[in-house]
Amino acid sequence: MSKEYDASSIQIIENLEAVRKRPGMYIGSVSSKGMHHLIWEILDNAVDEYLAGYCKNISVILNKDGSITISDDGRGLPVDIHPKTKVSAAETIFTVLHAGGKFGGSDSAYKVSGGLHGVGASVTNALSEFLYVDIYKDNIHYKLKFNNGGSKIEHLEKQGSTRKKGTTISFKPDSSFFSKWRFDEEIILDRLRETSYLNSGLKISYLNMSTDTEEEFFSEVGLVDFINYLDEGKSIIIENKSFNANVDEFQLMFAFHYNKSSNEKILSFANNIKTILGGSHETAFKSAFTKAFNDYLKSQNLFKSKEKKFEGSEIREGLTAVVSVNVPEQYLQFEGQTKEKLSSPDVRRVLESHISKELGFWFIENKKDSELILHRARKVREAKIAAQKAKELVKKSLTKKDKMRHISSKLTVATSKKRKECELFLVEGDSAGGSAKLGRNRNIQAVLPLRGKVINTEKANINQILANEELSTIIHAIGSGLGDTFDYEKSNYGKVIIMTDADTDGAHIQSLILTFFFNYMYELIEKGCVYLAAPPLFKITSANNKKNFSYAWNEIELDEIKREMGEKFEIQRYKGLGEMNYDQLWETTMNPDTRTLIKVTSDNYSDIQKIITVLMGNDPSIRREWINDNVTFEEENNG
């Protein structure tokens, strides 16, 4: 158990200075991501109380005024006077940079902590309009208030007696830094869900006061629940394996299983912090997995003649895993204040040998599963060789000159040499494609008509994709490769705009193209380069004056325009893009000054992957179940 949590356990390294002048040094950037980082610092402190064995419940409330309240039922922040600052330890935590009980060693109040370096609470205070602290400790309620980034302080005062225990912190981000941003409920819920999976037995409740949305997160089995959540809707072919043990001074947890997909998904965490860029622990897991599997094959004489050792990517196809490590502060190193990559060399050195040994036992004890992994690994290797041959065949059959001639037979290019200013319109059908070519801005807009539906790349292999004429042309037109070889910097376009009819066929074409981009050109979506065009559904023309007309994109706009005209009018319902003249298509759908575009975004890769797997994958029963759960069917009353 950690030492007593009082003022003497709060260690100080330096005063809090210049946070408001250089916030990016502490939260990464003054953006939505940076603003949410303020929450994570306070949340991490509450989770630290759980890790220390003193907290069972955490509450997060999103308030109507844009502030947020985070509570725990831990020990409560220390309230005695700090020997160096001569103010309460609680006040010291929020006003002095690098003040916290989290630096390891014999004086540490926490053996393991996510709030590395103790900057979190003070930085959250420095970048908030207000931050209020309620402490419930030793049957007394204390209150501490900060305003204007901590420049105004109402010192710690007793409020009365209480039976509660723990700490409640409410704060509102300073609008002078975050005026463009608001807290995003989905981002918060994703983080709370992950935190509950990583800390089995911890209950986390959420309430949005504006929408009355309530959620509760609790997991009894932790990482097994996590990987099942990540692969919801997928067919699992190798069931869950989980491991939880103390390895020297580190606590290691990992869980994995295999699904039928060709995607590898590994999430890693260090001291409950999501390490998006991986690092020592994730590298240790991957290296150990590869070593243990190849060692198993060698020990069982399963390698074929002249068969080489398998690479990690060949073994991990279809693998979903979560790796979590809790590291004492003296060993914990992150790259940057936003803690997205673990860089502790001791972690890799110690964990890799232990993980390899544990997996070695598992491969021997689960020979049928090991044989299945071997079978898949050989298939992956065969497919990789076949794909490389297919790519080489494409290169040989199409020299650069021939390739451009092949593309130019379909693609009408833009004349500008400033590639990132150029736009590629993927247009449904030759008719609409012809109108788009006539109506476009020739300088920056290229047009590629699609004569049919592209294949479903969730079900197709790389050879089928390269053989598909429509997809092959898209790949060559964009010019940045695909899959592992995709290079965003080589893209010929800053925007790729999918322009289809506003009907079910058009929606299906959009889905097929987006599935392809997600699976093979994901960085285009990640960089915000993929858009959906939004052509109007109606043209409303005055019967008395043909020059008086308007466009409507939905029934509500149609009704408003009809009321505004207040006279006889004609309504044209566009059944497809091909019904528009080229000047109409330009004015409504292609002109950057008047058009409406829908940007395709991807805030949560794993959630989108799950939806694509359900809706575009091979299992119709899962698709039917999803539709029944998520789609409301209403009977049309024709009177």
Nearest to 228 by CA among 239, 217, 218: 239
Nearest to 403 by CA among 472, 467, 464, 454: 472
- Beta-carbon contacts of 563 under 8 Å, excluding residues fewer than 6 positions away, are none
Task: Please say whether the beta carbons of 302 and 75 come within 8 A.
Answer: no
Backbone φ, ψ for residue 168 (5° rounding): -125, 125
Give CB contacts under 8 A, 24+ apart, made by 600-608.
600/514, 600/517, 600/525, 600/530, 600/531, 600/532, 601/525, 601/528, 602/518, 602/522, 602/525, 602/526, 603/184, 603/186, 603/187, 604/186, 604/190, 605/522, 606/230, 606/265, 606/267, 608/518
Among the listed residues 129, 428, 458, 470, the single catalytic one is: 428
Among the listed residues 382, 505, 559, 567, the single catalytic one is: 505
DSSP 479: -
Q: Are strands 597-599 and 445-450 parallel, antiparallel or unpaired?
A: unpaired
Task: Please say whether the beta carbons of 58 and 50 come within 8 A.
Answer: yes
Element at 241 (helix H, strand E): strand 236-247
Among the listed residues 185, 249, 358, 503, the single catalytic one is: 503
- Kindly state the tokens that stand for 203: 């209950």
Give CA–CA dist 168/173, Å, rounded.
Answer: 16
Nearest to 158 by CA among 88, 69, 60, 72: 88
Element at 208 (helix H, strand E): strand 203-208
Tell me which amino acid residue 41 is: E
Q: Are strands 597-599 and 569-573 parallel, antiparallel or unpaired?
A: unpaired
Residue 430 is a catalytic residue: no
Partners of 241 in the beta sheet?
A: 256
Residue 501 is a catalytic residue: yes
Residue 231 is a catalytic residue: no
Residue 335 is a catalytic residue: no
- Kindly state the tokens that stand for 314: 């060949």
Task: Please say whether the beta carbons of 219 and 197 come within 8 A.
Answer: yes
Residues identified as active-site: 428, 501, 503, 505
